[in-house]
Amino acid sequence: MIIRKNFKYLLKPNKTSEALFHQFAGARRWIYNWGLQQRKETFEKEEKKVSLFDQNNALVFLKKKTTWLSSIHSQVLQQALSDLDKAYVSFFLGLKKGPKVGYPRFKCKGVRDSFRYPQGVKVEEDRVFLPKIGWVKWIKSREIEGVIKQTTILKEGEKWYISFSCEIENFSSPKIDLNPKKSVGIDLGLTHFATMAIGDKNHLVTIENPKFLKKSLEKLRFLSRNLSRKMKKGKNRYKARKKLSQFHFHLRNLRLDFCNKLVLQIVKNHDIIGIEKMNILHMVQGLKTLARAINDAGWGLFLSCLKNKAIEYGKTLHEVSSFLGNTKLCSNCGQKNEMELGQRTYKCSCGHNLDRDLNAAINIKNQAVGASV
């Protein structure tokens, strides 16, 4: 099996390199926005789609007209267009199959400044070589595994990082005799972050929403409102945007930490893991946009952490379809009962009477076990 893994390290650029980082990230942003503008305009005027191939051709002419672009490595520019293309592909795929992805947006200065190289980067113990920039010092905090397929230079807060996306070939998950008794069904929700039904006794474990979420929702609202009040292109607007982006970064780190700890516990203690397919979660009703975005981000991150860890530990993860209606199905007798949105307790004529989310988690677990043994 081939798996992809990211390895991220702190860079220690000198002033010259850092100035070039800013220049490269600026050029990447400029080309990305240029490409987006072209796609939008062509669609609005002629109802035609522009392909990546067309845009790469146009880039050749653009570089002849725009002299400052010639100092930027051409792969970095092509990569910007290919990133834009990917953003379009996942947008359209999201419309068709879910989960929904936002329409590509113009990139702003100071928000996730980055640029990428598909190749040409060289790595030594204490320095890395970046084409058209040169050697830059880095802190090699752990070994890189596999073959580097792509290199991203990115700014987070005030620091620059290098991230290698690597392909590890012949990765084999440890072989495990799956024990159905060591199974778990996970129901992700709004009332709690997760409700889990564990083992054949359906032991209930509830994971509360992390406390930082409620606080951060308020802070995010404040920061976004603050940003929208600032004058366009003003210096204060730039500062406000930077604050917002730093807060998003901080939030992502908290979330990542929360997910990693939870996922490790789940994967270490269980052989068969069931979870509801992601697109279903997006149909949650009655949520305001920001709160919804926060939940979506949390679930998405949790799910991708869970997938990776399950592979690493040789455990089985089943994404269970909600076709049978995990919330409506009685986990005792299999009868279907209608459930009101706010109804917290599941009641069935067979006498089964339990927490709504636990009932769903048991159904998810049963489907996962059924598919594994």
Catalytic residue among 156, 187, 319, 355: 187
Question: How big is the CA angle at 177 (ends 256 and 2), to the nearest 5 degrees?
Answer: 50
Look at residue 277 and give its three-state secondary structure.
Answer: coil
**Nearest distance in Å: CB 103, Zn ion:** 44
Look at residue 201 and give its three-state secondary structure.
Answer: coil
324 lines the binding site for Zn ion (CB under 5 A): no
The only residue of 264, 350, 371, 373 in contact with Zn ion, by rule CB under 5 A: 350
**Nearest distance in Å: CB 349, Zn ion:** 7
Query: Residue 12: in which H helix or E strand, if any?
Result: strand 3-12
348 lines the binding site for Zn ion (CB under 5 A): yes
**Nearest distance in Å: CB 335, Zn ion:** 5
Give alpha helix (H) positions in the chain: 15-46, 52-65, 74-97, 211-229, 235-269, 278-281, 289-313, 356-372
329 lines the binding site for Zn ion (CB under 5 A): no
337 lines the binding site for Zn ion (CB under 5 A): no
352 lines the binding site for Zn ion (CB under 5 A): yes
Strands 316-320 and 272-276: parallel
Amino acid in the structure at residue 94: G
How many residues make contact with Zn ion (CB under 5 A)?
A: 7
Is 355 one of the annotated active-site residues of the chain? no
Per-residue string for binding with Zn ion, 4-43, x by CB under 5 A?
----------------------------------------
The only residue of 263, 330, 358, 364 in contact with Zn ion, by rule CB under 5 A: 330
- For the chain, the maximum distance between any two Cα atoms, rounded to a whole number of angstroms, is 77
335 lines the binding site for Zn ion (CB under 5 A): yes
354 lines the binding site for Zn ion (CB under 5 A): no
Is 200 one of the annotated active-site residues of the chain? no
**Nearest distance in Å: CB 223, Zn ion:** 48
345 lines the binding site for Zn ion (CB under 5 A): no
Between 202 and 332, CB nearer to Zn ion: 332
The rounded distance, in Å, linking the Cα atoms of 308 and 302 is 10
Question: What residue has token string 């069904």?
Answer: 185
Catalytic residue among 85, 113, 276, 355: 276
- Tell the burial category of 204 from Cβ atoms under 10 Å away from its Cβ (0-12, 13-18, 19+): middle
Between 78 and 332, CB nearer to Zn ion: 332
Instruction: Please identify, among the stretches 171-179, 296-304, 320-328, 343-351, the one whose residues bind Zn ion according to the rule CB under 5 A.
Output: 343-351
User: Which of 182, 191, 180, 210 lies closest to 355, judged by CA?
Assistant: 191
The rounded distance, in Å, linking the Cα atoms of 25 and 190 is 38
347 lines the binding site for Zn ion (CB under 5 A): no
Is 41 one of the annotated active-site residues of the chain? no
Between 168 and 333, CB nearer to Zn ion: 333
The only residue of 89, 95, 147, 333 in contact with Zn ion, by rule CB under 5 A: 333
**Nearest distance in Å: CB 323, Zn ion:** 19
Instruction: Please identify, among the stretches 13-21, 94-102, 246-254, 345-353, the one whose residues bind Zn ion according to the rule CB under 5 A.
Output: 345-353
The only residue of 33, 74, 224, 332 in contact with Zn ion, by rule CB under 5 A: 332
The string of DSSP codes covering 98-110 is SS--PPP----TT
Between 116 and 356, CB nearer to Zn ion: 356
Strands 127-130 and 203-207: unpaired
Other residues' Cβ atoms within 10 Å of the Cβ of residue 296: 17
Using CA atoms in the order 137, 142, 148, 152, what is the torsion angle rounded to 10 degrees? Answer: -50
Amino acid in the structure at residue 51: S
Residues that bind Zn ion in the complex, under the rule CB under 5 A: 330, 332-333, 335, 348, 350, 352
> Catalytic amino acids?
187, 276, 357
